């Protein structure tokens, strides 16, 4: 049985660690977003850093739980808090990584829309575009190369057929969409009207 004094002590100990765990989840998602949007290689620094911070939270929770063992079983919340934060972190990271792929394409299309429209009419590709792929009425502007042949692009699709590529988490993509540009279309996100951000593998 926990008396009022013990409960107050446990709550006072729990609150700052809850704030730290929340900051780890939200801050970690923000850092993942920026690192992945700027350069995938930055993830090699960010991921170990976030792992070390989580490990420090876990050790701190265990130490504080041991010091508060006279408060009873609820003290185990201190040790379990980093574990409880993991599902929330995975959910936040999943969305952060998804939109960190999409946001740069959205911003680039918004900033250089006239150049992209001109390229569709036979003009030169916008500056910095690595290549242009065409498949029927669809046009893909190569915006980034990844590892193992993966690449991303801003795609103009007046048929809206690319909307069916929803395979971010490994979901199925219809064969006719997957091979549209002779590549493995993994997933697409609508940017504006007939424009999409697509990932290819």
Give pLDDT, residue 1.
47
**pTM confidence score:** 0.82
Q: In sequence order, which residues have a C-beta less than 8 Å from that of residue 200 and are 6 or more positions away?
A: 150, 151, 152, 153, 181, 183, 184, 185, 186
Q: What Rg, from alpha-carbon coordinates, does the chain have?
A: 23
The backbone region for 187, taken as left when phi is positive above 0, alpha when psi lies in -120 to 50, beta otherwise, is: beta
- In the predicted model, is pLDDT for residue 179 greater than 80? yes
More confident of the two residues 66 and 53: 53
Q: In sequence order, which residues have a C-beta less than 8 Å from that of residue 145 and are 6 or more positions away?
A: 130, 151
Alpha carbons 113 and 26: distance in angstroms, whole number? 32
- Between CA 105 and CA 179, with CA 132 as vertex, the angle to 5 degrees is 90
- In the predicted model, is pLDDT for residue 63 greater than 90? no
Out of 58-67, 90-99, 174-183, give the one with best mean pLDDT.
90-99
More confident of the two residues 156 and 135: 156
Domain ranges of the chain: 4-102, 112-200
Q: Would you give the distance in Å from CA 168 to the centre of its chain? A: 10
Average pLDDT, rounded, for the chain:
85
Question: What is the average pLDDT across 81-94?
Answer: 93
């Amino acid at each position: 049985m926990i008396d009022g004094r013990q409960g107050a002590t446990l709550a006072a100990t729990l609150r700052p660690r809850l704030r730290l765990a929340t900051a780890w989840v939200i801050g970690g998602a923000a850092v993942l977003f920026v690192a992945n949007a700027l350069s995938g290689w930055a993830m090699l620094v960010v991921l170990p850093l976030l792992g070390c911070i989580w490990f420090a939270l876990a050790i701190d929770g265990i130490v504080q739980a041991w010091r508060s063992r006279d408060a009873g079983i609820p003290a185990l919340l201190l040790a379990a808090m980093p574990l409880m934060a993991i599902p929330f972190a995975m959910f936040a990271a999943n969305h952060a990584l998804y939109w960190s792929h999409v946001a740069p394409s959205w911003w680039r299309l918004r900033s250089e829309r006239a150049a992209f429209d001109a390229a569709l009419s036979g003009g030169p590709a916008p500056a910095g575009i690595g290549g242009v792929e065409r498949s029927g009425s669809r046009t893909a502007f190569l915006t980034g190369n990844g590892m193992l042949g993966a690449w991303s692009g801003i795609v103009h699709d007046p048929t809206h057929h690319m909307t069916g590529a929803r395979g971010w988490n490994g979901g199925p993509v219809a064969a006719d969409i997957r091979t549209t540009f002779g590549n493995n279309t993994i997933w697409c996100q609508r940017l504006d009207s007939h424009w999409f951000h697509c990932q290819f593998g």
